Chain A
Amino acid sequence: MIEVEKLSKRYEGRPVLEGINAVFSPGEVTALVGPSGGGKSTLLRCLNGLESFDGGVVRVGPDTLAPGDVRAQGEKVRRIRRRVGFVFQQWHLFAHRTALGNVTEAPMHVKGVGRQEANERGRALLAKVGLSHREDAYPSELSGGEQQRVAIARALAMEPEVLLMDEPTSALDPERVGALIDLLEQLRADGLTLVAVTHEMRFAYELASRVLVLHGGHIIEEGPPARVLANPHHERTRAFLGLGRVPALRTLGA
């Protein structure tokens, strides 16, 4: 679905991503984990042209993004964005639109769907995320969890094949995380490809089919969550997961 080849990016002379190669296959759920500053959010934003990069390519279906394409922000980038939705960490709902208005805005004005049809589909999506009763509420009137659900519905309204999510659990109460996982589980069952940056190991465990660990602009480890998170090979992954000192503790304790 998405292929990343030799992707590299520097920021103020400092490498942020270095020679990243990765494939995100249809129906797969990938968790990007790693320490802060490791490059995971940057990689995520490169996947739909929100972030410029300096070398390598990103392939989405038939389209290939090179560094110049992102700078130009032309039709190719927009075509990719229609297939790859994005849910921001802070959601960024349109503050002047109701929940339903947020969901129908892009179908009507980007795809040219009629108002009635857009409203019907928008209501169905709000129902899917459990917010049928809130369609007339403005973002300022919604709780954090509700805003996130609207943001997911807004992205789904464009019928993307891939959904990118930046730290989806960071602004949620712990009890809300379970509900989000249930929702995403359902979307995966519908065939959606998911890529999420996360610090929440429970999220990675329960939902992801694969974990990528980024550190210093490199993918240092990848594999199924059960293997990577329970038995990391790389020293850095162990440190990040807080497992680095376990042998020492064992030695000291018993």
Chain B
Amino acid sequence: MGRLLSYGGGLTHARRSPSLSQATRPSFLLPSVLALLALLSACGAEQDSGLSRVRRTGELRWGADAQGGEPYATEDPDAPGGMRGFEVELAEALARELGVRARFVQNDWSSLVPSLERGSFDVALNGLEVTPSRSGRILFTRPYYVFHLRLLARRDDAAVTGLDALKGQRVGTLANSLAWDLLRRSGVEAVPYEGVEEPYIDLEQGRVRAVLMDDIIAQRYGQPRPGLRVVGDVGEGYYAIAVRPGEEDLREALDTALGNIARSGELRAIFQRWGIDNAEQQRMVDWTDAQTREVLAPTQTARMGWGQLVLFLQAAGVTLLVSVGAMVLAIPLGVGLALTRLYGAGWAARLATGYVELFRGTPVLLQLYVLYYGLAGVLRLDPISAAILGLGLNYAAYEAEVYRAGVLAVPRGQLEAAMALGMPLRLALRRVILPQAFRVALPGVTNDFIALLKDSSLVSVISVVELTKRMTITAVDVRSWLIPGALCALIYLAMSYPLSRLARHLEARLERG
């Protein structure tokens, strides 16, 4: 999918983003279903510790996402089916230390942790940052890489000197990453992205003031852009290997193995081969257990409170704004398309049909990407406008069909009667056909609007924080999907239910005429 687009990296490089199809589903469902499955399987599991299982099977199954892009772990273009990347080499070295083979298991990046919990693989090794929310849920080994949070700004924007200069400004990063936490603590307006290319596109376009990302990512995807400059490194973090809770023996064995390959110089040799070595990495060699304890020390988890509720209501406001705006655009456009299809000249009718087929037949997510990132060079829209325009253009195609059905349901004699009174076609359509067609179309329009209310969650891919995005951010913060999920569902219902009531009331009123 992403390869269709010229800036393909944005979609292909989805290491921190759900895949296209993934993003269209409510992402909180998957983890909870997986957690349930993990619970069920735990009941019947044989009593076999992590390390002895790895030894017995003779392989270390490591989960990662091949879509993650360089230099982490990707498919080897020269050897189809093979893998390459510094984490591939790291996994092989660790397996060798344990006396087993390494086996790569493909898994979507966003669900690595739940998949690890349910036992799809023994370890997750794929640029997992040590964050409080993760270390509260799973076991981490000692870190294997220290990265810096690198701040980039536009070359012509000298006023950005550091995070302090960015208070209240929009700064892009990946949602729920270490950088995300740092930005929010710094009083900066953190703009969440799901891919690593998009924030830099937006920085070039002036839609964010700066971008804060792991230096490995900044180096590959930000720094090569001529319009951007490095402001500096403003924080640091670690990548570590995730192990299932209760498998402390496997973690200890991996810690020992990591210590061995670090001290032997093999670890930094791997980093050198992939161009990500630097003096800082010596700390990985000299690492002590005391440091591990310090890094992994539990911190206070955020809790759901009134402040969160306010954020939820704000996000609901964004959802409502985007949905209403898109519908206000989609209705007249849809009416125009429907009438053009039915009464327009041959070429115009074909054009309208083409529009409907194009916008109905391609994913709205793709359309949003093209509109916001693909056309960024010619059409510089802010995220909310792009969201409204994108959804509006898409829903116009659906509205067109609803109205076309409505117009076709009006008896032919009505148009003839209007014409026989000397009305021109336009007037006859406006005064006689459309009011009656609208009555037929109303249930369909209501239905579409409720669908739109929920589809508006897709605009989080263009960095708009609406209700669903707010829910996922909060869920990771408070390490629970239950309460944020229920609150989110409740707010959606509170928005859609009155709407269906209103529509039924309108239908009843129109029934008479």
Measured CB to CB, the residues of A under 8 A from B are 48, 50, 73, 78-79, 81-82, 85-86, 88, 90, 92-98, 105-106, 109-110, 138, 140, 154-155, 158
Contacts and interface: CB of A to CB of B under 8 A. Distances in A.
5 contacts: A92-B414, A94-B417, A106-B423, A140-B512, A155-B421
Contact of B421 (A79, A90, A98, A154): A154
A154 B432 CA distance: 14
A82 B431 CA distance: 17
Nearest to B417: A92
B417 A110 contact: no
Contacts of A82: 422
Contacts of B416: 50, 88, 92
Given A96-B435, A109-B431, A78 B422 contact: yes
A94 B413 contact: no
B413 A90 contact: yes
B423 to A, nearest CB: 6
Given A95-B436, A96-B513, A109-B431, A158 B414 contact: no
A105 B421 CA distance: 9
A97 B513 contact: yes
Given A78-B423, A81-B420, A96-B513, 4 more contacts: A50-B419, A81-B422, A94-B417, A110-B427
A96 B433 CA distance: 10
A73 B423 CA distance: 10
Most chain B Cβ neighbours within 10 Å, of A78, A79, A90, A98? A78
**Which 3 A/B pairs are nearest by Cβ-Cβ distance?**
A92-B413, A92-B417, A106-B421
Nearest to A86: B420
B426 to A, nearest CB: 11
B420 A48 contact: yes
A93 B439 CA distance: 17
Contacts of A48: 420
A233 to B, nearest CB: 35
Interface residues of B, number: 22
A127 to B, nearest CB: 21
Contacts of A95: 414, 436, 513
A229 B398 CA distance: 59
B224 interface: no
Question: Which label, helix, strand, loop or mixed, suits the secondary structure of the B interface?
Answer: helix
B377 interface: no
B82 interface: no
Interface in B423-471: 423-425, 427, 431-432, 435-436, 439
Given A94-B414, A110-B427, A138-B512, A158 B421 contact: yes
B414 A78 contact: no
A88 B431 contact: no
A109 B512 contact: no
B354 interface: no
Contacts of B413: 88, 90, 92
B235 interface: no
A56 B435 CA distance: 38
Nearest to A93: B417
Given A92-B413, A96-B436, A138-B512, A105 B420 contact: no
Contacts of B435: 96
A92 B427 CA distance: 17
Given A90-B413, A94-B417, A94-B432, A78 B424 contact: yes
B411 interface: yes
Contacts of A79: 422
B275 to A, nearest CB: 71
A119 B440 CA distance: 29
Nearest to B430: A109
Most chain B Cβ neighbours within 10 Å, of A92, A97, A140? A92
A117 to B, nearest CB: 17
A158 B422 contact: yes
Contacts of A73: 419, 425
A140 B510 CA distance: 13
A109 B419 contact: no
A85 B513 contact: no
B414 A110 contact: no
Contacts of B427: 109-110
B423 A109 contact: yes
Contacts of A94: 414, 417-418, 432, 436
